[in-house]
Amino acid sequence: GDSVTQMEGPVTLSEEAFLTINCTYTATGYPSLFWYVQYPGEGLQLLLKATKADDKGSNKGFEATYRKETTSFHLEKGSVQVSDSAVYFCALTRPPMDSSYKLIFGSGTRLLVRP
């Protein structure tokens, strides 16, 4: 079945360091890919998305490129801030017309940025 695999955390970085959080997926067809962020005690917020191969999603300095050849959607940011500390989830959806349509999440990666 479909699945999403993320690198285990926590990831601890100093402010202004470069961030990479790895995400790979298994799915048939051409899924849409997402990164969500969860701040403590809150729900999830969409951070960025990509709906087809080679698309690059970007938002708030974060970027991720849909790589079909490596089935990956790694999240990157050039200079993290303390306020970026949160849990990050990679997710996918099946193609829109699929009868088993639903969101599938990875296990999440906790990011802690120190001043």
Contact positions vs other proteins (CB under 8 A): 32, 34, 36, 41-46, 49, 51, 89, 93, 96-98, 101-108, 110
Of 18 and 101, the one with the shorter C-beta distance to other proteins is 101
Q: How far is the CB of 99 from other proteins (least distance, A)?
A: 9
Of 15 and 53, the one with the shorter C-beta distance to other proteins is 53
Q: What does 67-88 look like in DSSP terms, one character per residue?
A: BTTTTB--EEESS--GGG-EEE
Q: How far is the CB of 84 from other proteins (least distance, A)?
A: 19
**CA pair distance 23, 107, nearest whole angstrom:** 10
Look up tokens 């080679």; give the residue: 54
Q: How far is the CB of 14 from other proteins (least distance, A)?
A: 23
Of 74 and 94, the one with the shorter C-beta distance to other proteins is 94
